[in-house]
Amino acid sequence: MQTDPSTFQASETIEQIATPRHLQQRCLSPGDGSQAAKQAIANAEQALKKLSVNFDEWMRGEVGKLKQARGAAKASQFSAQTIDQLFSISHDLKGQASIFGYPFAADICSSLCKLIDGSAGHGHLPEALLDQHVDAVVAVYREQAKDRDHPKASILARKLCDVTDDYLNQLRRRAKT
Amino acid sequence: MAKIAFDELRFVVADDNAHMRRIVRTLLRAFGSREIYESEDGASGLEAVEAYSPDILISDIKMPIFDGIELTRMIRNPDGCKHPFLPIIILTAYSEKKHVIAARDAGATEFLCKPVSAMSLYRRIQNIVENPRDFIQTKSYFGPDRRRYVNPNYSGVERRSGDEAGHLVDPNQVSLEA
């Protein structure tokens, strides 16, 4: 927990400790490493490119899990456990879909996470909006909408983000009154 | 910038998502690392840290059993973990400010948002190896110095014994016991 400066007592001890420098000593060699860094990054990008032959298959699996989680959430009438599972898969896709080549799916999942997180405290998850998010991710994958300039995917993602923001703002306003 | 001998660095990667572990492992191996251990939840992450004594831990936040923030807190307890100074990179899709602050206040060394790129991961590791930050110990915090820069306009009380005395505490003498 961070110390609150306004409550700070002059007598409180704050020690500064020298961190062991063993990584510097063991892993750094003198000289200009900028070329080595460029090479290492290029190697890693190349390795990721090789790995990318799996990405469509991985994306298919994750989209399948998302659909399944939505089904389980509905079947349980949105129990806390199934909503948590839906959030978890959506959150994974938020972090991974761009790497897999589906940046709009990442945007939509980011919005879905925000929707689930923001609605949770108000005890109401809007089912239609949730469905639209999941269906949009399925459509982005089905249509292989990978480019950032894909017109339909772009509009779809932006609309869902806007509607979610509006909905959550309404919830907040209602909670205040 | 000096050259980093990645083959000297041992990593533990804690993430409940197998694809993400594979991606991080691919990047680390391409950098030149050979020793990369994986765990899929916070508990096995802590076990891996104790068992393999890594040089760097890369951890997700949202994981089963206990999350990456709790894992960081446990590692930063000198009375409970053998490696309280272990550099920790939090790698997460939680990009909101509250999560960045939670990770920082738990004692994370670096914070990196998914999607991860080769460049961003390399830069975090480089920063850890080349510019290790000193640690701060208070009653409620033990971890890397959260001040990333010196504010020339700061006019408040100087609260750090090391700042005032001009010397630092020996890391071997660290204990959080009251």
Per-residue pLDDT reduced to its tens digit, B149-158: 777 777 777 6
**Structure tokens belonging to residue B11:** 């990593």
Residue A30 confidence (pLDDT):
79
Per-residue pLDDT reduced to its tens digit, B70-116: 999 999 998 888 999 999 999 999 999 999 999 999 999 999 999 99
Q: Are B93 and A12 within 8 A, CB to CB?
A: no
| Residue pair A43/B15 in contact by the 8 Å Cβ criterion | no
**A30 has a chain B CB within 8 A of its CB:** yes
| Residue B30: closest C-alpha in chain A | A44
Q: What mean pLDDT, rounded, does chain B reach? A: 88
Which segment of A16-25, A94-103, A139-148, A156-165 scores lowest on mean pLDDT?
A16-25
| Residue B16: closest C-alpha in chain A | A92
**Residue A127 distance to chain B (closest CA, Å):** 24
Query: Complex ipTM, two decimals?
Result: 0.87
> How do the domains of chain B map onto residue ranges?
6-137
A5: pLDDT strictly greater than 80: no
> How do the domains of chain A map onto residue ranges?
78-176
Confidence of residue A7 (pLDDT cuts 50, 70, 90): very low
pTM as predicted: 0.88
Confidence of residue A64 (pLDDT cuts 50, 70, 90): very high
CATH class of the domain whose range is B6-137: alpha beta
Q: Are A24 and B30 within 8 A, CB to CB?
A: no
Residue A122 confidence (pLDDT):
66
Q: What mean pLDDT, rounded, does chain A reach? A: 90
Count Cβ–Cβ pairs < 8 Å, chain A vs chain B: 176
| Residue A113: closest C-alpha in chain B | B94
Q: What is the arithmetic mean of pLDDT over A89-114?
A: 97
| C-alpha atoms less than 13 angstroms from C-alpha of B137 in its C-beta half-sphere | 21
Q: Are A19 and B19 within 8 A, CB to CB?
A: no
B141: pLDDT strictly greater than 70: yes
Distances (CA, A) of B8 to A22, A23, A26, A28, B123: 11, 9, 7, 10, 17
**Total number of residues shown for chain B:** 178
**Structure tokens belonging to residue B45:** 């992450």
The SS3 assignment for B164 reads: helix
**Residue A14 dihedral angles phi and psi, to the nearest 5°:** -125, 110
**B136 has a chain A CB within 8 A of its CB:** yes
Q: What is the arithmetic mean of pLDDT over A121-127?
A: 80
